[in-house]
Amino acid sequence: MIRTNRTKTIGSALVVICTLLIGSAAAQPQPSEIDAVKAANQAFYSAFSARDIAAMQKAWSSGADIQNIGPTSKSVIVGWDKIGKGFEALFATFPELKATMEPEIKIVDAVAWATGIERVQRKDKAGAISSTDNLVTNIFQKQGGRWLMVHHHASRITQ
């Protein structure tokens, strides 16, 4: 009797473990989706580094509630009109910009987030070169089969 109960207990535990593993595996995004989010994240940084406002707008959702919080922001910037004007002002201040990020990607359903350290190098009109490292969270939403940015938050890492 003890042996039968132990066998049932082990069998039940194996069923539970297998169910959790299968459920967990099914919940994991496919590598192609992770690659698609990485590409969307890279499109943002490529547009930023090229100072290309049209390409930047293509990386973002057209939703009215999209948000940007830059390292010098004093408040949340909402909507493309304000976000775009902020990037245009930044591009006008710095004729040379380069930003990179090696993201960690997480996906749940139609929402993905990329987190990591953003490294920004810039040269102003006077030729002064500066750089900063920022902790970043980029949030994307899948819309019409494309991953589009709905939120960007960069906070300067202070030493």
Mean pLDDT of the chain, nearest integer: 87
* The model scores a pTM over 0.85: no
Characterize 146-158 residue by residue with b for buried, 16 or more Cβ atoms within 10 angstroms of its Cβ, and e for exposed: ebbbbbbbbeeee
The answer to whether 115 touches 37, Cβ cutoff 8 Å, is no
Burial of 23 (0-12, 13-18, 19+ CB in 10 A): exposed
pLDDT at 53 over 50: yes
- What's the pLDDT tens digit per position in 87-144? 999 999 999 999 999 999 999 999 999 999 999 999 999 999 999 999 999 999 999 9
Per-residue model confidence (pLDDT) at position 13 = 40
Bridge-based pairing state of the strands 77-78 and 129-143: unpaired
The answer, yes or no, to whether residue 3 has pLDDT greater than 70, is no
Average pLDDT on 64-82 reads: 97
CA angle 78, 81, 84 (to 5 degrees): 95
The closest of 114, 102, 106, 120 to 156, measured between CA atoms, is: 120
Residue 70: burial class (beta carbons within 10 Å; 0-12, 13-18, 19+): middle
30-156 CATH, one of 1.10.1240.10, 3.10.450.50, 3.40.640.10, 3.30.70.580: 3.10.450.50
Only one residue has tokens 């202070």, namely 158
Reported confidence tier of residue 28, pLDDT bands at 50, 70, 90: low
Q: Which two tokens stand for residue 4?
A: 């039968």
Q: Give pLDDT, residue 17.
A: 46
Does the pLDDT of residue 76 top 90, yes or no? yes
The first and second tokens of residue 89, run together, are 């002002």
Name the pLDDT band for 31 (thresholds 50, 70, 90).
Answer: confident
* Statement: residue 54 has pLDDT above 60: yes
Query: Can you spell out the DSSP letters for 81-136?
Result: HHHHHHHHHHHHH-SEEEEEE--EEEEETTEEEEEEEEEEEEE-TT--EEEEEEEE
Q: What is the pLDDT of residue 27?
A: 54
- Domain spans of the chain? 30-156
